Each structure stands twice: as C-alpha cells, then as structure tokens.
Amino acid sequence: MTDAEIETLIDEKIRVHDQDPYAHALAELQLRLQLAESKTGMWSVVAADTFAGSGALGSTPVGNLPWSTNGLERVNDRIRHPTDGFAAAWLNAAMADGQIEANLYPGGNEASLYVRLNAALNQWLILQRSSTGSIRLFIQWAGTTIPLVPAVSRPVVDGERYKIRFLGADIWVFRMFDGEEEFLFSVSESRLSGETIHGIRLNGGGSVDDYKILKREAI
C-alpha cells in the first residue's frame, strides 16, 4: 500500500468517525454499554403481588415471601394505608442484585419503592414518585437524607410503571407508559449494595399495584 493510499484510508476513517454523533461522547457510550450489559442473562420472577382483595398483606401470591408492615394493607386491589397515612411494607428476597417493578400512584403525596433496606430499617435507598411530578432517588444514611441524582419531572398519569435495576453498586431507573420505556437516570452507590430487603413506602393516599421482584440468573 502506498503512502497516498494510507493517507486516503486515514482520512476516510476520520470522516466516518466524525459523522458518528456518539463517537466523541465517551460517557454516553459507556452508559449505553452498561445498559446493554445489565439486560444480559435470564431474568426470573422471585416475588410478585397484585394486592388483590382487601385486608392484611400476608405473603406474596408468587414466591410466597412474607410481607412485614407497619400499617399498609390490601385496599381495593392495591396496597395502601387505610387512612392515607405514612407507612411502609417490606420483604426479604434473599438477593442483593435484581430488579423491582411496580405501578406507582402518588395520590396526594407519594408512592415510593425501597430499593434496598438494611436489617435494622434505619438506612435505606428509595425511589420516590411525588404528586407534584418529581421523581428522585435518594439514600438515608446516618440520619441524613441525601439525593443521589437531580430530580426529574414527568406528568403523573394512571398506569405509569417504574423499573429499578440494581446490580452491585450500579442502579438504573426507568419509567414505562403507553408501551414505551424511558430511561430516567443511573447512579453508582456502594452503600447498602449487599442488602436484600426491598419494599414500598406510601403517604397521603399513595398506592402501588402489580409489584414484582426479579433476579438475573447466572449464565
């Protein structure tokens, strides 16, 4: 190959590279690769609950995991606080890595998902959906509430579903509505990364429906 041919090849590589809108966005490219990697493997349902009926939570119909609660119940086919107060429910899925999915209805205040709790329930990582439209991920640590990413805002609509995938220190949050999945934000947070308790927190008439916990099988 002549020097001229080599120069032509280099020029062509540079030209094509420059036309790629992602070629110079290393952070965005890394995020796309991380998202793709997080979806690999076989995912299976560990526990699921549609909260059908009314009364005590008992155990999840799928997975038979016992709910612990300080006030939440099955009310008209959703999990709620019977007087719209502040309360939570949680279960131990015996897995630190996985995915939580649920339909969130914030009511007059919030419908939130505990991504991870410690056994004493005094340190927690939570995704909050508020009636004002904000969606935020924060951690309560040493008595202080710390936002992990800037809050984003989306209209509150019936049927919106949230998905939180957590593998080690990496966490991704998605919003699904009308058949479309929207990536909201991601964060790396090593605190609580070994905890296996997950759950729900409600306040002000908030409710949750169709709750699921999934795990990724080894391949």
Q: Tell me if 207 is assigned to some domain.
A: yes
- Distance, C-alpha 136 to centroid of its chain: 10
pLDDT, tens digit, 9 for 90 and up, residues 121-164? 899 999 999 999 999 999 999 989 999 999 999 999 999 999 99
Q: Tell me if 169 is assigned to some domain.
A: yes
Q: Tell me if 3 is assigned to some domain.
A: no
What is the C-alpha separation between 49 and 19, in angstroms, rounded?
A: 48
Q: Are 125 and 139 in contact (CB under 8 A)?
A: yes
Q: How many domains does the chain have?
A: 1
What is the C-alpha separation between 187 and 199, in angstroms, rounded?
A: 20
Which CATH number does the domain housing residue 92 bear?
2.60.120.560
Give 16's pLDDT tier (boundaries 50, 70, 90). very low
CA angle 126/129/130 to nearest 5° reads 125
pLDDT at 58: 97
Q: Tell me if 164 is assigned to some domain.
A: yes
pLDDT at 15: 52
First to last CA, the chain: 45
Residue 156 belongs to what domain range? 39-217
Query: Which tokens go with 112?
Result: 């939130």
pLDDT at 186: 96
pLDDT at 145: 95
pLDDT, tens digit, 9 for 90 and up, residues 53-99? 999 999 999 999 999 998 999 999 999 999 999 999 999 999 999 99
What is the C-alpha separation between 145 and 125, in angstroms, rounded?
A: 10
Q: Tell me if 22 is assigned to some domain.
A: no
pLDDT at 84: 97
